[in-house]
Structure 1
Amino acid sequence: MSISSSNPVISAESLSVVLNNKKILTDLNFNVKSGEVFALLGGNGAGKSTTLKTFLGMITPTSGSAKILNLPVDQHATELRQKIAYLPESVMLYAHLTARENIKYFLSLAGINKRDDEINHALEKVSLQPKAWDERLSQYSKGMRQKTAIALSILRQAPIFFLDEPTSGLDPIAIDEFNQLVSQLASSGATIMMVTHDVYGACQVANHISLLRDGQLVGNFSSPEQGHINTEEVHAAFAARSLA
């Protein structure tokens, strides 16, 4: 299951979802290639969570498909989960364990054995301060817990990341640090899809943004070769003052 640089790693093809006789997603189409950051931007009730759950294999499409590595997720969920790192809005790690203890425990569940120096290198890579490595996560901020979870994903060598409202509840410095980390992951070849309502954060880090409203894509934006996606343009579309 190798990842091609030319073929999309994540793709929605006429993806529609109906739940309890209510249409939640209607004919979504997008592609994300290796090394790209894709942001699905929308407000509450837009359908972001449903889209994410569909790609995680938790919801079956009513029509169309959600594909990862060109495989329909609903048919290959178990196989694909080995390639995926999922970062929920509230990271699920054990508060009574340290960062290194959490990482060793979850790696053991996956049958992965890493040396202490490899774990330390991953923690350094996500810029978690060494003095915090042996502190219990009950003492951690949300940003520090996120860094621990990403270090775990790096050690699992997960090439695909799904991020759910990753900057929600973070202070401005932590948001900048997180965006830098996401950019570094993409530069190393990871493919990243994030769902968010944070216009500024999405514009700072994403190569492509799709605006989701009432389960439909109503705007698409791409970054220039140099620089970021225009925040004012996306904000205007997000606030429904215009549709770019």
Structure 2
Amino acid sequence: MQTNSVICADALTVRVENRTLLDNLNFNVGKGEVFALLGGNGAGKSTTLKTFLGLMKASRGSATVLGHNATTHPNDVQKSVAYLPESVTLYGHLSGLENIRYFLSVAGVEKSDEDIFAALRKVALQEDSWNKALSNYSKGMRQKTAIALALLRNAPVLFLDEPTSGLDPAAIDEFNALVSELAANGATIFMVTHDVYGACQVAHRIVLLSNGKLTGSFERIGDMPIDTEAVHAAFAGRKA
């Protein structure tokens, strides 16, 4: 994992009317790092994600991605990243292959069938499903299709919103293995989640968010996963 900053929150504050949704957030995410922002409902996770995607504006401070200020240059950020929402927005009446070809054409990205097939194999989407309508896909299969699309767009940064929500344990393990592989190949992964176990298994660093404020952080040491019990205790508001 390299230390050069790809994603940066510098005194990031977001206010809407009289409410402070994010309060003076400071962190950096390096190339090849899996960074997890962990918090419960209403903690400010979605606001953080939307601000880095340029969908909400910083009131003070800044959110930058690959050197682009998300508030002042949102289009530059959005062209440079891939975003996987909790509910992947793909067309149910199209097959996995048709969805990928369509969204690549919209993005102006030309890829051969061999490139597309290689990406689908990389995310371990079963080959017999490639030509089936997405309405027949499980959530895990939809996520794999969306990640294959992100790979084909050569996005160096992936933003993931509750990526393991609704997945069974086997699908979660597959997803975490894929995220780890992408990071090992240089992608920067920013995920927001309330899944303590999943975050500890895959993240290099976990930062806790509560009521719009950062309240703690944990970092992987070597190849050992982050201590689940310590994170859970802090997440639940108890002393570790």
If the length of structure 2 is used for normalisation, what is the TM-score? 0.98
Partner residue, 2:166 = 169
Q: Which one of the candidate residues 106, 109, 134 is aligned to 1:109?
A: 106
> What secondary structure does 2:58 align onto?
coil
Q: Which one of the candidate residues 114, 120, 123 is aligned to 1:123?
A: 120
Partner residue, 1:196 = 193
Partners of 2:69 and 2:121 in 1: how far apart?
35
Measured after TM superposition, the shift of residue 68 of structure 1 is: 0.8
Partner residue, 2:75 = 78
Partner residue, 1:65 = 62
Q: Which one of the candidate residues 40, 43, 55 is aligned to 1:43?
A: 40
Q: Which one of the candidate residues 153, 158, 161 is aligned to 1:156?
A: 153
Partners of 2:223 and 2:165 in 1: how far apart?
27
What is the percentage of aligned positions where both structures have the same residue? 62
Partners of 2:142 and 2:107 in 1: how far apart?
20
Partners of 1:6 and 1:183 in 2: how far apart?
17
Q: Which amino acid aligns with 1:185?
A: L
Q: How many residues align?
A: 239
Q: Which amino acid aligns with 2:231?
A: V
Q: Which amino acid aligns with 2:186?
A: G
Partner deviation per Cα, 1:185-207 (whole Å, 9 max, x = no partner)? 10110001000000000000000
Contact 2:37 2:193 in 1 (8 A): yes
Partners of 2:188 and 2:51 in 1: how far apart?
17
Measured after TM superposition, the shift of residue 72 of structure 1 is: 1.3
Q: Which one of the candidate residues 178, 182, 185 is aligned to 1:185?
A: 182
Gaps of 5+ in 1: none
Measured after TM superposition, the shift of residue 6 of structure 1 is: 4.3
**How large is the Cα RMSD of the aligned pairs?**
0.9
Measured after TM superposition, the shift of residue 32 of structure 1 is: 0.4
If the length of structure 1 is used for normalisation, what is the TM-score? 0.96
Partners of 1:82 and 1:63 in 2: how far apart?
24
Partner residue, 1:13 = 10
Q: Which amino acid aligns with 1:102?
A: N
Measured after TM superposition, the shift of residue 91 of structure 1 is: 0.1
2:142 matched to 1:142?
Answer: no
Partners of 1:196 and 1:28 in 2: how far apart?
17
> What secondary structure does 1:18 align onto?
strand
Q: Which one of the candidate residues 90, 94, 101 is aligned to 2:91?
A: 94
Partners of 1:60 and 1:209 in 2: how far apart?
24
> What secondary structure does 1:157 align onto?
coil
Q: Which amino acid aligns with 2:66?
A: L
Partners of 1:31 and 1:112 in 2: how far apart?
30
Partners of 1:121 and 1:181 in 2: how far apart?
14
Contact 2:84 2:160 in 1 (8 A): yes
Superposition map of 1:23-38 within 5 A: 23-38=20-35
Partners of 1:215 and 1:112 in 2: how far apart?
37
- Which 4+ runs in 1 deviate beyond 3 A? none
